Amino acid sequence: MDIDKTILDENNLKKLESLNNSKVMEVIEKFIKHCKPAKVTVLTDSKEDIDYARQLAIKNKEELNLEMEGHTIHYDSYYDQARDKGNTCVLLPKGKTISKFINTKDRDEGLSEIMGIMEGVMEGKEMLICFYCLGPNNSKFSILALQMTDSSYVAHSENILYRPGYEQFKTLESKDDFFYFVHSAGALDDRQNSKDVDKRRIYVDLEENRVLTVNNQYAGNSVGLKKLALRLALNKAHQEDWLCEHMFVMGAHPEGKNRITYFTGAFPSACGKTSTAMIPGQTIVGDDIAYIRVGDDGVAYAVNVEQGIFGIIKDVNPVDDPEIYKVLTSPRELIVSNVLNVNGVPYWLGMGKDLPEKGYNHAGEWTKGMKGPDGKEVDVAHKNARYTIRINDLDNADAKADDPEGVPVGGFIYGGRDSDTTVPVFESLSWSHGVYVGSIVESETTSAALGSEGVRKHNPMANLDFVVIPLGLYIKNHLSFGDRLTVNPKIFHTNYFLKEDGKYLNGMLDKKVWLLWMDGRVHNEYGAIETPIGNIPKFEDIKELFKQVFDKEYTKEDYEQQFSIRITKILEKLDRMDKVFSAEEGIPDVFFDHMNQERKRLLEAKEKFGKDVISPFDF
């Protein structure tokens, strides 16, 4: 490498040369010269190197020690508290198009812009070079990833969230089959926050399997291996005939039965994804992203891309989230971000205790009722404040969380949020019908901050923000994936948010009953009632499960309220979906076949029973 030894010393150069990979050397040399750091440190899988990132984050004041042993706190800029969808773009060569739902930019124009912003951006700073494995080590599922960053917080976060990959890189030999990520927080203010957020850019370059991101620190924008790598992996999955999904992976453990049934699940934000993955008595493999492949036996197998959780801390409390709360309140290595700090003790919204009226948070020195620089009242902690932990710190971590072979998938679960249309749980009629069901997932907005409350947003497979191929191709990939399986996982849909007279018809914990019903359906232990939308549970089975799980009487009135088929409301949804998908090119005919068949079944049922809302007992 033609790099000054005062920047990259002999010891760090040897670490790179030991990988014996010309592409690694070429990429690193290019960005050292372009970003111009004062120092470059290469981190391997050694404990000493992994600890270095954490200690540097504390030394640089990107993180502060908290009172609890091993806990640190990080603050992002007041204006850098969530994923920046507007400035996150997929770079496309001229003439190439993808779904209209995805922000795109001409590749030449985008690269010219961001490389201009990144020129000399690390002057006076230290570049950390880190190596990771997306997925379990030594697994056919996994993808290697190279990270270059001037943020020790980013490196520390990735050390918690992802498996080490330096030794794995040695197995590449001369191949260039890896993703790479270049990040800079840019110029920093006195709080060690990114100053130039108006020049925040997050560009995904599919041609080069890389992400360039600058002038940000919030992990959704800076930690390339998370949602940014999801886009790269989804493109790779398309090319190689496997699935990369925005899904948890969990194990269901029905009482008194010697088995584990693994489910994957995709839910838009605020639809119950984490709470489903963390249902009491079950085990978690991963909470966010899954790679799913066809095994040699024709069965679908899934792995968790990550070894950690970057979760929303709001409303984590000892009643609703006992496993996570226990981890957050006991000694271990973890990071919390953008919560209130009072003398080393963190406080967050919804934690189940009285909150202080002053302290230090994402706005700086804080007192109750104060307003931020944008004139809005600043809450005690940000509603998108986060925690970063390792999954194996949880008592309910699944024994196969790191299994390189993955876990066999018995069912896919798609979850939406609507207050007046969809039953709490139903099963699709077939694999292709299930793909259709997943494609028409909708979610109601939940507060004024997200737009008008109750507005339905379409989000196919809860993956719309990350689908970097045409939507029609994405759906076709799911259909063909099922064709290559000897056993299709069953596909289910859940909705925990049905209301009547403004009150929820389900309790927060009822989802355990729906999960155990799904488990029973996978193993053919329960019958079902076929309706125009799919198969719903029989009253007797649900009644028995509520008694068994909660010792609760589940009445016929409960069942009828929750599982009645609301004809007009469902037809209105189909009209919305017809409009959305008719505007997309390349949607497979079988998708519209299922939509038309469902519409026909609904109209026939309405005529047969003479009702707009049909009781499950009628079917």
Per-residue pLDDT tens over the stretch 450-498: 345 578 899 999 999 899 999 999 999 999 999 999 999 999 999 999 9
Q: pLDDT class for 36, splitting at 50, 70, 90?
A: very high
Instruction: Indicate the average pLDDT of the chain.
Output: 95
3-state secondary structure of 84: coil
Rounded distance, CA 205 to CA 617, Å?
53
Tokens of 472: 């029609």
What are the residue ranges of helices labelled H in 468-510? 471-483
370 DSSP 8-state letter: -
pLDDT at residue 451, as a whole number? 45
Average pLDDT of the segment spanning 605-618:
96
Q: For residue 275, which of 594, 506, 548, 600 has the smallest C-alpha distance?
A: 506
pLDDT at residue 446, as a whole number? 57
> Is residue 198 pLDDT above 60, yes or no?
yes
* Percentage, residues of the chain above pLDDT 90: 93
- Spatial contact of 133 and 164, defined as CB atoms under 8 Å apart: yes
In single-letter form, the type of residue at position 529 comes to I
Region at 610 (left for phi over 0; alpha for psi -120 to 50; beta for the rest):
left
**Structural domains of the chain sorted by starting position, each given as residue range(s) with its CATH number in brackets:** 10-64+76-240 (3.40.449.10), 244-305+401-618 (3.90.228.20), 310-393 (2.170.8.10)
**Entry pTM:** 0.95
Q: Indicate which residues carry an active-site annotation.
A: 271
Strand spans (E) along 485-568: 490-495, 499-500, 503-504, 529-531, 534-536, 565-566
Taking the CA atoms of the chain, what radius of gyration do you get in angstroms? 25
> Is residue 310 pLDDT above 90, yes or no?
yes
Helix axes 567-582, 589-609, angle to 10 degrees: 160
Average pLDDT of the segment spanning 117-134:
98
pLDDT at residue 453, as a whole number? 59
pLDDT at residue 479, as a whole number? 98
Per-residue pLDDT tens over the stretch 223-270: 999 999 999 999 999 999 999 999 999 999 999 899 999 999 999 988
> Is residue 447 pLDDT above 50, yes or no?
no
Rounded distance, CA 138 to CA 511, Å?
35
